[in-house]
């Protein structure tokens, strides 16, 4: 954490705004007030006083909502009766965040599942690639990519159960979905080197949706086995079928479960939704959510801030619901942070979603505060 003094921080923040051309003209027309969100990864070492101080900084900087990670596909950080519980981090954070005037939206992983009991008892619940390899045995990219099959009824009920459990927490403001998709058919190009791969097209090891259950269901509808499709990426029936696996899970299972308790439901989604459909079979333009937080991590895509504006604009024009541009701020200096924020807002974002709280500095908080007031 940068420990520069307040005066130096303020000076840097103002300089960053000026350097990137962001104007705080008091005579400019006032935009609709922004709503800003911050994702918070699990941190069980912070004391209550440290959380309290962080939340005060957030609220003073123009943040209205926090998104704490409460289920990571293996451990629950809330008092679940159905998932392995690590600790009740949510219980610590809720009253402190509300006292600071912040909404709390519980962040849950959806498709990855590393719970030993589920893996051993229900291996048929897991997604399968075009080579016939199960994610439970041979996950793509990293070990935690043990994705479930989003179209299987038992899987849908399992994920719905987590959403219901969270929605039943009276003090909670909303439920936030993550990894609500298939595994990446194509990774963002900026990550290819990290995994020593080139994905100039979709290759079978990364092309998912081919469980026995889904193959049978597709045959019933279309009379074909998707394993026999020569060009699956360009087969409109098979692509839509895979989009629908996830869309129906969201619209028929998760949204009703959360809305039944009067809570807001949102999701971290991929850019687009055009890119999201290509990359992770995620057609979020058809989802009945209350808010969308697209992960516009432009450095992952080897793109600049202008790309954030373009992706934000597409999302806003598609869903007609609030879109909060998700920014990966860990690798941004103050000028780049300001410029990227400016592009998101010019794209029509209703606010920002910052990943993550640990990547903020006093200077960035100052910039966010000035932008939020403008």
Rounded to whole angstroms, how far apart are CA atoms 287 and 266? 10
pLDDT, tens digit, 9 for 90 and up, residues 1-27: 332 332 233 333 333 333 333 433 333
Mean pLDDT of 63-77: 98
Min mean pLDDT across 26-30, 111-115, 192-196, 315-319 is at: 26-30
pLDDT at 87: 98
pLDDT at position 31: 63
The pTM score is 0.92
Q: Which single residue is written with the structure tokens 């291996």?
A: 123
Q: Is the pLDDT of residue 288 over 90?
A: yes
Sign of CA dihedral 178, 184, 185, 191: positive
| pLDDT number for residue 19 | 36
Give residue-wise pLDDT tens across range 247-268.
999 999 999 999 999 999 999 9
d(CA 326, CA 322): 12
Q: What is the pLDDT of residues 124-161, one digit of tens each?
A: 999 999 999 999 999 999 999 999 999 999 999 999 99
| Sheet (strand 36-40) strand order | 291-294, 264-269, 174-178, 103-109, 63-71, 36-40, 351-355, 324-328
Q: What is the pLDDT of residue 30?
A: 52
pLDDT in tens, 21-56: 343 333 334 567 899 999 999 999 999 999 999 999
45: how many CB neighbours lie within 10 A of its CB?
Answer: 6
DSSP string, 83-128: S-B---HHHHHHHHHHHTT-EEEEEEE-SB---HHHHHH-GGGB-B
For residues 302-319, give the mean pLDDT.
98
State the average pLDDT for the chain.
92
**Whole-number pLDDT of residue 32:** 77
């Amino acid at each position: 954490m940068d420990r520069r003094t307040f005066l130096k921080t303020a000076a840097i923040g103002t300089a960053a705004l000026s350097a990137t051309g962001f104007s705080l003209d008091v005579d400019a027309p006032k935009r609709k007030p922004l709503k800003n969100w911050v994702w918070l990864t699990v941190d069980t070492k912070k004391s209550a006083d440290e959380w309290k101080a962080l939340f005060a900084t957030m609220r003073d900087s123009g943040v209205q909502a926090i998104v704490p990670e409460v289920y990571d596909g293996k451990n629950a950080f809330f008092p679940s009766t159905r998932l392995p519980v690590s600790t009740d981090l949510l219980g610590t954070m809720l009253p402190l965040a509300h006292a600071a005037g912040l909404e709390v939206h519980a962040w849950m992983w959806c498709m990855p599942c590393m719970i030993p009991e589920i893996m051993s008892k229900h291996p048929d619940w897991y997604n399968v690639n075009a080579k016939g390899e199960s994610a439970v045995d041979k996950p793509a990219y990293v070990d935690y990519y043990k994705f479930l099959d989003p179209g299987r009824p038992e899987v849908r009920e399992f994920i719905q159960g987590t959403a219901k459990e969270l929605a039943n927490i009276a003090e909670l403001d909303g439920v936030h979905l993550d990894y609500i998709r298939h595994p990446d058919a194509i990774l963002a190009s900026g990550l290819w080197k990290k995994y020593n791969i080139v994905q100039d097209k979709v290759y079978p090891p990364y092309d998912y949706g081919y469980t026995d259950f889904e193959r049978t269901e597709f045959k019933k509808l279309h009379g074909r086995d998707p394993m026999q499709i020569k060009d699956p990426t360009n087969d409109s029936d098979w692509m839509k079928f895979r989009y629908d696996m996830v869309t129906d899970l969201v619209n028929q299972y998760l949204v009703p479960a959360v809305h039944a308790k009067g809570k807001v439901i949102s999701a971290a989604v991929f850019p687009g939704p055009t890119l999201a459909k290509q990359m992770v079979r995620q057609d979020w333009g058809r989802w009945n959510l209350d808010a969308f937080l697209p992960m516009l991590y432009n450095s992952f895509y080897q793109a600049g801030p202008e790309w954030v504006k373009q992706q934000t604009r597409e999302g806003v024009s598609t869903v007609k619901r609030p879109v909060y541009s998700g920014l990966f701020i860990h690798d941004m200096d103050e000028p780049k942070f300001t410029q990227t924020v400016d592009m998101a807002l010019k794209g029509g974002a209703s606010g920002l979603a910052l990943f993550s709280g640990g990547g903020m500095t006093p200077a960035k908080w100052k910039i966010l505060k000035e932008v939020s007031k403008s």
